[in-house]
Each structure stands twice: as structure tokens, then as C-alpha cells.
Amino acid sequence: MKRIFFIIIGALLLWSCEKTIEFDGEMTKPYIVMISQPEADSVWMVDLSYSRFFLLSQEIKTIDDATVTMEVNGSIVSGSAQSLGDGLYNTHIVPQSGDTLTLRARVGDEEVVAGCRMPFSPTITDFHAEYDTSYNESWDGSTYAECTPRYHFKLHDKAGEKNYYRIRMFIKYDDCEDCEIENLYFSIEDPLIYDEDVVEVILNEGENYFYGHSLMFSDERIDGTTHNIAIDNISQSFLTRSNHTVIIEVSALSRELYLYLSSLEAAQNGDDLGFFSEPVQII
């Protein structure tokens, strides 16, 4: 009986600790949010919407009546972007590597302006693959072989420039028309390209290595050098399918996109950005 009595008292104490606190601060007004990720040799698209106060739960309000104008290398492009609905605009511009872009969106008396420089495509050479074969014993006592690939390539960084890169890995099943391209997880053990403020670096028995499906890094430690990169493919699911293509994507990022993706990844990982932080990409 005493045990039941103590359990009831404990439950009452826990229940009494709960208290709802009403927010009595000032609600911030909506701001114009301009989202765009221009890529070389692709049509430049823009997405416009209004920001939403963090305590509200209604859907994001898109903007379809804005005047969107563009500049490429300081020259104003005639005409404005075409609204496609749902806040999406088509500039009909295909940027090239090295272009400097400026984007302006005006809604009534409000205007937002942003710009970026299109990075040059990274220079990659000497790509090759090697395979590590291990033999394992299955539940019935039989032995089977497992092949783990490692991919090598050289990244040639331009000296005297601040460059930013992203590495991603995908798989495409050649014998399945309806299958989508899937992300592959990989690991890289290379402290020269880690940026521990950006990526999640795993500590494993004293060794630092990256594990994930998207690695971003700057050329701070490899500026102007030819750097050898080795990628271990640790996604084993594709080994059950023989007809597949592994795609390794090495992209050069603008500083603006690098900073946005970095803050987004930090927020998703809960890295000391605060409860009220919400990264908003401008361009």
C-alpha cells in the first residue's frame, strides 16, 4: 500500500511542474523571402514568398505579383521574369560559369536585392576505382564474397581564390526505368578538407572521418594544390543489383550557397544556433 501511495504522490509532483507560458512579445511582420539556386547551363529560376512568424502554423504565403528584374555582369537584362504561379518565376536566363548575377524583386514599395558569382566548374582528373573483397560466413555456414569499392580522383584547386566544394554520391539502377536515383552514404578520411564547423565529423577510436551523403568544404587547407581524394562507398544495399551506375558529383559552390547550406545543416543537427533560428536562403 505504501508503494502505491508513493507512486501517486510522485505523479502529482510531476504533473504540477507543467505550466503553459503565453508569448507576450511582438509578432514580427512578414518579410519577402527570395530563394534561388542558379546553376551554370541551367535556366535561372526564382521562388518568392513571405516569411512566417515562428509561432504560427499556417502555410507559407507565396508571391505571384512581384516585379523580378535581373543583371548579368552588371548589365540589366531587358524585361522581367515570368510568373509561373505558386511563387515561382522563370528568368529565361542561362548563367555561365564566372557570371556575376544580381536579382531584384519588388512588391509594392518593398524591394529585396541579392547577388552572387557563379563559380567555375571544378577540375577533376585521374579518376579510378579499386575494390576490397572480403569473405564472410552466412548463417548456414556457406561463404560469400562482399565487394567494397573505393574511388580516387584528383581535385585541382585554383590558387589565390576562395573556393567551396560539395561531394555527393548517387546510384542509378540501369535495369529499372521507374527507379529514382538514390543517395549513397560514403566516408572520407581526410582532415585537410574537413570543416568541423560545417560537417558532422565522427570520432571513432581516435580517428576523425566524415560519414554522410553530402560533404561540403572550402579550400582553406588545400589552396592552389592538386589534392588526392579517396571515397569509401559504405552503402552496401546496391550490391544486390548487378546493373547499376554509381555517380559521384563534385560541385563548386558560390560562397552564398555554401554559407546557406552550412547554416541549414547546422540547424538540422541542432548545433548551437538557438531554438528560434530558421535559415533563409537569399540567393
User: Which tens digit of pLDDT belongs to each residue from 73-115?
Assistant: 999 888 889 999 999 999 999 999 889 999 999 999 999 998 8
Three cell numbers, residue 241:
543489383
C-alpha cell at 5: 501511495
The three cell numbers of residue 30 are 512578414
Q: What is the pLDDT of residues 108-155, one digit of tens each?
A: 999 999 888 888 889 999 999 888 777 777 778 787 777 778 899 999
Lowest mean pLDDT among 93-102, 171-180, 198-207, 258-267: 198-207
The rounded distance, in Å, linking the Cα atoms of 15 and 243 is: 58
For the chain, give percent helix, strand, coil, nearest 5.
Answer: 10, 40, 45
pLDDT beyond 90 at 40: no
The residues, ordered by sequence, that sit 6+ positions from 195 with a Cβ below 8 Å of its Cβ are 216, 217, 218, 220
Q: Is 43 helix (H, G, I), strand (E, B) or coil?
A: coil
Prediction pTM value? 0.69
Task: Find where cell 557563379 sits.
Answer: 118
Task: Report the mean per-residue pLDDT for the chain.
Answer: 79
DSSP strand E in the chain: where?
32-35, 45-50, 67-72, 75-76, 82-85, 88-90, 100-107, 110-117, 123-137, 143-156, 164-173, 182-183, 186-188, 201-204, 207-212, 214-218, 226-233, 244-253
Best-predicted range by mean pLDDT (21-25, 148-152, 196-200, 223-227) = 223-227
Tens-place pLDDT, residues 202-250: 444 445 678 888 888 999 889 999 999 999 876 654 454 567 788 899 9
- Residue 17's pLDDT band, with cuts at 50, 70 and 90, is low
Contact 81, 105 (CB under 8 A): no
pLDDT band at 9 (very low <50, low <70, confident <90, very high): very low
Cβ 244 vs Cβ 184: under 8 Å:
no
